[in-house]
Copies of this chain bind each other. A is one copy, B any other.
């Protein structure tokens, strides 16, 4: 698949970087001229995935999070969020709405549901003790002009 443009953003698992990750996505996607709603959907999905890496993946040890954003042909946006944290034992269960292992931190268990409903495609690959990779795609609507 041809890649029109691609950026990688690598940050340590500090919660302050969640906002920086969203800002990176916004500034990179300007060139694709998304609608306000599309941009907000993608920003929200990225925020969920990066937050999960901070809160769950690197719960017990710090580490880096890698965010990749690609501009593909036909106005498809590809997003990948990768951590080398604790991983997920049961991905299917983790993806169920309201399932959370951190209720005491007021996690709602809706992170994956948000990603699923705000993006067109969501894939979660995870290996316990190795880490988690979330990939998402969304096709932007055709241009007005």
Contacts and interface: CB of A to CB of B under 8 A. Distances in A.
B24 A9 contact: yes
Interface in A9-41: 9-12, 14, 16-17, 19-20, 22-24, 26-28, 30-31
B6 A7 contact: no
A5 interface: yes
A19 B24 contact: no
Most buried by B among A16, A28, A30: A28
Q: What copy number does this chain have within its complex?
A: 2
A12 B87 CA distance: 30
A24 B28 CA distance: 9
A139 B86 CA distance: 37
A27 B30 CA distance: 15
Contacts of A9: 7-10, 24
B5 A12 contact: yes
Contacts of A28: 17, 20
A8 B5 contact: no
A27 B31 contact: no
B7 A10 contact: yes
Contact of A11 (B7, B12, B17): B7
A16 B19 CA distance: 22
